[in-house]
Every structure is written in structure tokens, then in C-alpha cells.
Chains A and B, each alone.
Chain A
């Protein structure tokens, strides 16, 4: 038998590959640079900052700025640093993520396995909630929170984030459950399983991939939110994003750039951590969200 031909690999030649990698590395630098700059700036003293430039490394690494950012920087009226706001964020983000994910799971389950007349229409209407600019609900919501007595409070923020997160979580779960064969539910019904049994015993065990995606997405969205935070809370109750903005943009006295940078990194740490640990699920969440129902 004759030896099979070795075909040329299609693609750029060596020079092409070199240019390719050069471009990619350049782009990578463009992306990493801001983060690096933030870190190095946060480790310098103010004198070093003024003396050097963006790219100079700290001569002596000091964590003084970090300490200030965490415990003593001024975020508006009080000067207790970000730690209080960090806790605030934790306090409402976690419950909001849990509630919106759970509800989204049940909704997705109903919309795929227990369809009834009009349920598809309802889903489309719900989807609209993904698209509206939240500016159109701010004023009425501010009023409503006041009436309900939960304005400027953790329950208030939980409420808002759950309500406006439902469209996304439902979308995620519904798109995932659509690929589970409907015969599975039928077989379970004949076996005698009811609505909740089927969910608990059969659907839920199949759900970990999408639960992870949903939790990561929701956590990132809600932790990073600023609009709801700045409108629906004030002072001590503010989430960390609002506090960060206040810290950076207050113009009393000398601008402490290193503290600003340290504060920004503190605010970014939780979501960055989640990204590093579970990044590929994050990506799946993004692309899943882009797939319309």
C-alpha cells in the first residue's frame, strides 16, 4: 500500500504564526495592564506615586493604603472604610442569589415540563424584563419600598434584586431544561410521582451545571450592581460599589490614589475570585444568556 500523502497544514506560515502570537500577547498586555497598574499603585506611597509614573514598581511595598481602604477611608459621611459596606453587600447578595436561583429553577421547570395554555406567552412577556432600562422603574420602586417600609434596608435590596433577576434566572433554567426529554416526566408521572417529587428526584439531580452558571451570573450581577444600590440605599446601608464610588469621587483634601486603587481591588475581589475558580461556567452563563429563548 502506498504511504498516504502528508497534506500541508492549512494556516499561516511561520512568519504568520509569529505575528499572530505577537498580536495576541499585545492584546493580553492591554487587558492585564490596568489590573497590574491598580495593584502596583495600591502598594506605593503617595510620594512614590507622585515621583514616578504608572509603570514604576513600588520601591517599598506597603499595605498602608489597603488598611486605610478597609477600615478608615471616608465613603461619604462616615469614615469607617469599606468593611461595613463589604458586609452590607454580602448580606443582601447571598439571599438574593439563592432566592432568584431557586425561583428561576422552578419557573424553568414549569415552563418546559408542565406547559399550560398561555405559558409560552407568559415566558415571552417575562423575557421583556431582561431588556428594559431600569431607569423606568426606579421612581415607582423608590415609592413602593417606602410604602412597604423597607426603603434603605437589606430586605429592600434583596427584594429589588430578586424581582429584576427573575427574568434572567428563568431564562437560564428554561433553556437548560428544554433539552431534557419530556418522556422522562411522562414516565415519572405514570410511576406515580407528583410535581414536586419529579423536580426533587429527577430534574434537580440533572441541574448542577446550570445552577452553577446561574449562581455565578447572579452573584456577579448583583455584587457589581451600582444603580439599585445608589438609588435605594444610603449611608451605612450602601453596598460596596456605591461606597467605592463615593470614596473615589469625594474631593475633600488630598486625593489618595493608592487608597482608591486598594479600595477598587477590594470591591472586585469576590467576583474576581469566583471568576478564577469557576470561570468556564461563567463563560457558559454569558453565552447562554445571549441565546434568546
Chain B
């Protein structure tokens, strides 16, 4: 029995179906992320878990209780909003204790809880201030404090870091992760930022158009994406997609690639050989991440999965830690990640190393992964 159970949940607004059969189980203490582009339904789903939106059909259960008919205050949840939603006319202390006051928690217990929460979030010095006197990061902390004070079975976060600037976002991300580790709380976290999803989540649910495309650990989603959309959504810079014909050579199935004037075959990794075999003579979409195409290293020749080819460099973009270069395979632009010291020059040819063990293949029609 999990902390959160979403079973076959649908949401309809009039004739439009916004959520189509969502099934998610989250365990106690799990940090679950709902990630996807805007309009995918993640915020709607979160609102339905909170009780702020009705469920058209299906069940949502929290801590073993089906909560469909319960109002938000009876669901034992707490929520942190993107806009923080602090009560502007109340001090930080009163913001945190508002819910406790309504529940008629005795005054001294209220103070105790507020003190504990303030200590956890290191905002004891802010308690008497008003929200308008706080910075964005501080407001976010107060919002989290308000949620912590309730000690709920489930924490809900609705894109809490989207309103912060980039640097603050990274800091707060770390804080949230530390908090989760310390409290062992069950968290459902909505974001459109795939980096947040990857760094924070125990498991990620990648959503698009009202459907969960994949629910797995970050590493799993990264290495074995369920379909083209998930593969392209996770990872930055995103995965390269190249249409290529499937062929066989020396008993191994692979894809044909063309660079400049030359054609060559990349054999598929062993687990996929059988699945790809059915596609010989047809076209598939090859997926390979920029970080899997780098400059030559000492491992070439030792590891059979690492093959080298030379390619003409079109564009060079240094980012500091590495340099992104653009090449063309099968007339498709392909981004590669190489060391800055490799000294790539636009217009020049360069030897690149491809990690063939990480190749993934997709059905061009259904976009599902092959293999």
C-alpha cells in the first residue's frame, strides 16, 4: 500500500479529455516528479491530488484512503505554489501558523511548531517580517515552512522554483533535496524543467498530452527512454535524432549513415540486435546523445563499442566545461560534446568517437522505442 495511489484517473473539461487514464503509485518517502511540456496535464493532476479540482473518473488514494470526495483540508496534504501564495497581510510567523490556528491547535504547540520549522529552514530571523519585505528565495522558504508546519502525509510542489533566477534556483534545488533526505517525506513535485526532474526525483513521470509516457528512475529514463518524446525531452542539449535505413553487415544489424561523401554502418548494441532485425530494409529513427559523441580518447581501440569516424565541423559553441560542435549525418544536424582542448575549428574535419553501446532506435510512425 503506497502513500499515493492514482488509479485510472481521467479529467474532462466539457468535451476535452485533459487526463487520459493516469496510473501512478508512489511509495512512502518517495520523491516523485511529474514533468512535461505545458499543457501536458501535470498541474491539473496535482490540483486533483490536492482536491482543488474534481476527478472525472478514477480514484486517488492518499495513505490508503480514497480521497475523491474529501475537501483539500481533510486530505492530509500540504502544497507549495509557484507564486508562493503567502498571505500578504500576515507576518511570516502567522503565515506558517495560519493552518494550525484554523485547526485549533493550542497556542503553545503552535509556537513550538513554528520554532521548529523556522530552525529547519534557517529563517528564525524572518519570523516577524511581512511577505513584502522578503526576497524571492526567502518567500519560497516561508511557503515551504507553511507546508512543513502541517506535517502532512503528502507534500505537493507546483513548479516552486520557476519564479526564481537561475542561480537561486540551483541553490533551492539543493535545499529541497536535503530537506527530503532529512524528513523522508513523500513528495509529488511538478516541473517543466527536466534538469530539476533529473536531479531531484527518485522517480520521474514524463507526461505529454494527458498521458504518462514513462514512469521510471532518472537514469532509466535517460538511458532507456520509452519513446521519441521522452528521449528528446530529457537531457540537455537534447538527443540527436537521425533518420536512417537499417541494413545488415557481417552478421550484425545496424543503421547506415552518411557523412560528407562516405557511407558507413553503425551496428546496434547486442540487446537490440534481434528487435532491429525486423526492420532491415526499412527506415528507423536513430537516437544518440551529444555526450555520446566526443573527441578521441585513450579508450579508442580498447573498447569495441567506441568507434571513431571523422566528420566536418560546421559550428563551434564553447560553453566553458565543454564545447558543442555541429556536424551533419544523413543531412541532419547532429550536436556533439567535445573537450575544449580538442580545438575544433569550423570548416575543418575532425576525428570523433561514437559510443555505440548507447544507441537507441525508434519506430518513425509510432515513435515507440524499438527493442
Which chain A residues have a beta carbon within 8 Å of chain B's beta carbons?
A: 181, 183-184, 186-193, 197, 201-202, 205-206
Contact = CB atoms under 8 A, between A and B. Distances in A.
B279 interface: no
B215 to A, nearest CB: 26
A191 B96 CA distance: 10
A184 B85 contact: yes
Interface in B39-74: 50-52, 71-73
Given A186-B52, A190-B79, A192-B99, A206 B89 contact: yes
Interface in B95-114: 98-99, 102-103
A190 B89 contact: no
B83 A181 contact: yes
B103 A183 contact: no
A191 B102 contact: yes
B81 interface: yes
A184 B82 CA distance: 11
A190 B99 CA distance: 8
A186 B50 CA distance: 9
B73 A190 contact: yes
B102 A190 contact: no
Contacts of B103: 192
Contact of A191 (B52, B73, B89): B73
Label chain A's interface by main secondary structure.
Answer: helix
Contacts of A206: 88-89
Nearest to B143: A187
B52 A189 contact: yes
B221 interface: no
B85 A183 contact: yes
A191 B98 CA distance: 7
Label chain B's interface by main secondary structure.
Answer: loop
B127 to A, nearest CB: 18
Interface in B120-169: 146, 150
B77 interface: yes
A187 B102 contact: no
A203 B23 CA distance: 38
Contact of B87 (A186, A192, A202): A202
A206 B50 CA distance: 26
Given A189-B72, A190-B72, A202 B89 contact: yes
Contact of A187 (B51, B71, B81): B81
Given A183-B83, A202-B87, 16 more contacts: A183-B82, A186-B79, A187-B79, A187-B85, A189-B72, A190-B50, A190-B51, A190-B72, A190-B73, A191-B73, A191-B102, A191-B146, A192-B103, A197-B102, A201-B98, A205-B89
Interface string B173-192: 00000000000000000000
B271 to A, nearest CB: 46
19 contacts: A181-B83, A183-B83, A183-B84, A184-B85, A184-B87, A186-B50, A186-B52, A186-B81, A187-B79, A188-B87, A188-B98, A189-B72, A189-B73, A190-B77, A190-B78, A190-B79, A193-B102, A201-B87, A201-B98
Contacts of A191: 73, 98-99, 102, 146, 150
Nearest to A193: B102
A125 B85 CA distance: 32
Most B CB within 10 A of own CB, among A184, A190, A205, A206: A190
